[in-house]
Amino acid sequence: MEIRNLGSSGLRVSAVGIGCNNFGVRIDLETSRKVVHKALDLGITLFDTADIYAERGGSEKVLGEVLGSRRKDIVLATKYAKAMSDDGTKIGASRRYIMRAVEDSLMRLKTDYIDLYQQHDYDPLTPIDETLRALEDLIRQGKVRYIGCSNFPAWRIAQAQEVAKSINTHGFVSCQDEWSLVFRHNEKELLPCARAYNMGYLPFFPLASGLLTGKYKPGAAIPENSRFSKMPGQRTRYATPRNEAIVTKLQDFTKARGKSMLELAMSWLACRPQVSSVIAGATTEEQITQNVAAIGWKLTADDMAEIDTITLG
């Protein structure tokens, strides 16, 4: 497993990370344990979760239960800021809430510190300097090692980084957002912003909820127990005529080279300089094994140009 720096920081992460949003909701405790242990055996070190995953707290509880003594071997990333209650009291990035949210996550994760604490969404009600000062206190207390953001527009990231410089606090070392062969909108502003501030990019939904695995055929029945069958909203979002046409052309591209769609989707992201780790979820040990094996394809400049023609044309 290749290990990379997360942006300009000294934090080292595996080139393939595991998204833990399935733990505690799509798979039970024992299945989650098997997936986690297989990931560790294959050299995955980045485990990415959030306080809201699995019905608010479920994913963190599962990780806290199954990691045990292996906690020290991983980079544990979680998130705060999205609603953890329905009454509006557990949400956002105020000092008051952050101090409470981190303690709740530490308790569920059964750990004394979080390696990467990420703001899950921008909070328009809280001044960014208040947020950054609170996070700085957590770093000084040893409860958080590094901070990142997710789902921020590029200009908000730039604002946060400049404020961090002006008040002499730590800035975000990473940004996490969607990126895939059928979702390339973030290349216009977010990626250049991350590059300008030397932040690590952590792409999620690299397989577009399974569309880029090639298992869904246009006009064919949706496989049982697949993500599209259980989450029809994801099917509506990704299985558009445009995306299906792109997938068909990409399948021809991979077939001509003796590769799989999974290898293309993962390797295309892994070879991008700003990407520190490709975050992919998994519900089985087999999926973990496939994801790790899929980043070994070294795409050439000609390959990348042809992919651009297919996906951007």
Average pLDDT taken over every residue of the chain: 92
pLDDT at 313: 73
Residue 112 has pLDDT above 60, yes or no: yes
- pLDDT tens for 15-52 read 999 999 988 888 889 999 999 999 999 999 999 999 99
pLDDT confidence of residue 189: 96
Percent of the chain at pLDDT > 70 equals 93
pLDDT at residue 220 above 70?
no
In this prediction, residues 111-126 reach a mean pLDDT of: 97
User: pLDDT at residue 235 above 70?
Assistant: no
pLDDT in tens, 5-14: 999 999 999 9
Whether the pLDDT of residue 221 is over 60: the answer is no
From 53, 122, 201, 216, active-site residue: 53
Q: What is the reported pLDDT for 309?
A: 95
Superfamily of domain 3-208+269-298: NADP-dependent oxidoreductase domain (3.20.20.100)
Closest CA to 18 of 45, 50, 58: 45
Q: What is the pLDDT of residue 24?
A: 86
Q: What is the pLDDT of residue 210?
A: 85
Rounded to 5°, angle at Cα 207 from 180 and 56: 105
Torsion over CA: 209, 215, 221, 227 (sign)? negative
- The residue ranges of every structural domain in the chain are 3-208+269-298
Does residue 127 carry a pLDDT above 70? yes
Q: Is pLDDT of 150 > 60?
A: yes
Q: What is the DSSP string of 122-175?
A: --TTS-HHHHHHHHHHHHHHTSEEEEEEES--HHHHHHHHHHHHHHT----SEE
CA–CA separation, 127 vs 73, rounded Å? 35
- Both tokens of 284, joined, read 């089985």
pLDDT of residue 238: 81
- What's the pLDDT score for residue 214? 76
Q: What is the pLDDT of residue 239?
A: 80
Percent of the chain exceeding pLDDT 90 equals 81
Q: Highest mean pLDDT range out of 75-79, 221-225, 244-248, 294-298?
A: 75-79
Active site residue 53: yes
Q: Which of 104, 24, 14 is nearest to 63 (CA)?
A: 24
d(CA 166, CA 199): 18
Give me the pLDDT at residue 27, please.
86
85-101 per-position pLDDT tens digit: 999 889 999 999 999 99
> If you average pLDDT over residues 205-220, what whole number do you get?
79
Q: What is the pTM of this model?
A: 0.91
- Strand-pair partners of 261: none
- pLDDT, greater one: 222 or 125: 125
Q: What is the pLDDT of residue 231?
A: 63
